Amino acid sequence: MDTSGWTAAPARTASLRRRGAVLERAILDAALEQLGTVGWNGLTMEGVAAGAQTGKAAVYRRWPSKEDLVADALQAGLPRLDAAPDRGSVRSDLIVLCTQARDAMFSRPGFALRSVIHECDHAQAERFHAVIVEGVVEPTIKLLREVIEHGIERGEVRPDGVNGYVLDAIPAMMMYRSKMCASEWTDRDIEEMIDQLMVPLLRPHGG
């Protein structure tokens, strides 16, 4: 009996097997998908392995705990807001920036991040503090600061417009309305927030 063909299938399987960065990306994507669908409490290493079409051992080899896996998944998946818009007016710039933030909030990594924030207990949340601050909070505040400073330079914004309360206003409003009021932040919602809250707040005294 000719058995020469029997070795071909395993060889082909081995050549198609994902390794290294490709497999890790698939696992991280599966973790984000799980967070967005079943949430932090429902996520399991077994479920992630199934979603990535790999074995549970491949997941545990790289990430010994659920917290380690989710931290890396968020870090790899969170959208990057790298450059402040510069459309010539603080109103236009804030609308563009808020639209980008809205799109990030409702992306798969955004849903995953909110699942972690809302469901984790205090001890678990500590594990993600640096990821959230360095990946979301600080970049957002930096871009808001740049937009407002450009407005000050153009004379559109009062000189003391850059302060912690002003910089907190947009992120706080967007998170509050999203969580407590189930707002999806349409383009019109964003324009109304900028026109009714931020533009009057930033306008020069007597302007």
What integer best gives the mean pLDDT of the chain? 86
Cα distances (angstroms) measured from residue 108 to each of 29, 61, 91, 96, 184: 9, 25, 28, 20, 14
pLDDT digits (tens, 9 = 90+) for 169-204: 999 999 888 888 888 899 999 999 999 999 999 999
CATH class for the domain made up of 79-202: mainly alpha
Give the residue carrying structure tokens 């919602």. 189
Give the residue among 16, 12, 126 at the shortest CA–CA distance from 67. Answer: 126
Domain boundaries, the chain: 11-76, 79-202
CATH fold match for the domains 11-76 and 79-202:
yes
**Which of the four pLDDT bands, split at 50, 70 and 90, describes residue 161?**
very high
Q: What is the pLDDT of residue 148?
A: 96
Which of 18-22, 34-38, 106-110, 114-118 is the least confident region?
18-22
Is the domain spanning 11-76 CATH 1.10.357.10? The answer is yes
Local structure of residue 18 (DSSP, 8 states): -
The fraction of the chain above a pLDDT of 70, given in percent, is: 90
Type of residue numbered 204: P
SS (H, E, C) 79-116: CCCCCCCCCCCHHHHHHHHHHHHHHHHCCHHHHHHHHH
Residue whose C-alpha is closest to residue 141's, from 111, 172, 109: 172
Q: What pLDDT digit, counting tens, does each position of 125-137 carry?
A: 788 888 888 888 8
Beta carbons of 147 and 112 less than 8 angstroms apart = no
